[in-house]
Amino acid sequence: MALRQILFLLRPHGSRISRSVTVFKCFSTTKTDYNETETDFSGDKTDSSSHGSGSENKSLLENLSVLGVDVQMAQRRQPGVFRKIQTNEQGLIDFLEQKGASLDIIASIISRFPRAITRSEEHLEERWRLWRSIFNSDAEVVKILNRSPESFFRSSDNGNLEKNIHYLSSLGIKPKDLHRLLTMAPRIFSNSLALNRTMVELLENVCMSLGGTDSEKFARTVISRNVYILIRSTKRVRSNIEFLLSALELSDEEALKLLQSHGAKILDLSHENMKTNFRNLQLKLKSLGCSQVQARELILNYAPILFVSSDTLNQKLDCLIEGGIDIRRIIEKPKVLDYSVTTLKQRLQDLHQLGYNFKVNGISVLDLSSKRFKCKMEKLRELGV
């Protein structure tokens, strides 16, 4: 197959970003003269440590300090912001307050991403409008901002944001999934359009090289199965796909199926991690008397098993086997490994007390939500076994 070659061709070839000329004004607004109204050279209470130049805007520091911003942290993170003559902190504060953010939240946002105070009123309005085109309320936006200020403020390119929204929509990603993307991985929308496009093209090329017919649908499916894909590097995703294909010796058909289902979940694992976990799984199964073919089978049945760290996985397998379960049952139904060691142990204990026979009844009883498990237990008790 020519996959390797195609993947190679997709390496970030100079990854030139065709930056569009955006006409949005990104300069400080005129309403912040109050920076200059206060001239305080006396009180040095609001520390001015470690920055030899002493050219920071003192009144800015005070204003932020009063608001509750962790000024030290902010300065450490983006010192340049504090040497600017003009900033729009009051505009930002008013803006966010009007959107329903508390002062605590605003202070925390500025502490973590000080550059936010350099964004103009017009810029903020427009960016908010674009985010709101995906979210249902201001409150939702505030929640994400509080969680990840950087995702919202890192880029000043609203045009790029708009293009991203159009691009992802044009792939057939539905509003509901756009909502999921922006909620769970907001950084996607601050990526350059070119970067997102490169990832989508990588996925589409994988699909085509595997003989798939609808590569756009393939990309859409993978992204919707794993919303974090687009904030990963193509290098990582590509090496993970290459690894899965070769390590599991997948046929084209198997690969297409796997990647569009549970396989998508593990594509954003750190590559080293994937390899380590894979190796550990192989070794562990070998020590339990299983062949490599069986390891393959297990992964094909439930790829996210590679997400589980070696230590945890070994513990889970050990406790199931000590509980009298045949490894072959686990290979058939690896999803039981989804549950925590604690839960598994508890359930094994409960079932043993009733003399439950896994050989006769299988192990799917372990793979139930706690509600369903409770019901099941009650019925078993009524029946006397």
Partner DNA sequence: GTTACCGGGTTCTGCCATGTAG
Partner DNA sequence: CTACATGGCAGAACCCGGTAAC
Using CB under 7 A as the binding rule, the residues of this chain from 124 to 153 that contact DNA are 147-151
Q: What is the DSSP letter of 177?
A: H
Among 2, 8, 19, 66, binds DNA (CB under 7 A): 19
Q: Measured from the CB atom, is 79 or 138 closer to DNA?
A: 79
Tokens (6 digits) for 311 = 């230590």
Say if residues 249 and 287 touch (Cβ distance below 8 Å).
Answer: no
Among 59, 72, 90, 343, binds DNA (CB under 7 A): 343
Tokens (6 digits) for 172 = 């057939």
Q: Measured from the CB atom, is 195 or 255 closer to DNA?
A: 195
Say if residues 235 and 43 touch (Cβ distance below 8 Å).
Answer: no
Amino acid sitting at position 266: I
The owner of tokens 């929308």 is 189
Question: Shortest approach of DNA to residue 5 CB, angstroms?
Answer: 20
Q: Is 184 a residue that touches DNA (CB under 7 A)?
A: yes
Q: Measured from the CB atom, is 1 or 25 closer to DNA?
A: 25
Say if residues 228 and 268 touch (Cβ distance below 8 Å).
Answer: yes
Q: What is the DSSP letter of 284?
A: H
The owner of tokens 């607004």 is 29
Q: Is 350 a residue that touches DNA (CB under 7 A)?
A: no
Q: Is 327 a residue that touches DNA (CB under 7 A)?
A: no
Binding residues with DNA: total (CB under 7 A) = 76
Q: Is 234 a residue that touches DNA (CB under 7 A)?
A: yes
Question: Shortest approach of DNA to residue 204 CB, angstroms?
Answer: 17
Using CB under 7 A as the binding rule, the residues of this chain from 241 to 300 that contact DNA are 261-262, 268-270, 272-273
CA dist., res. 303 & res. 252, Å (int): 17
Nearest to 149 by CA among 93, 108, 179: 108
Q: Is 86 a residue that touches DNA (CB under 7 A)?
A: no
Q: Measured from the CB atom, is 187 or 217 closer to DNA?
A: 187
Q: Measured from the CB atom, is 2 or 309 closer to DNA?
A: 309
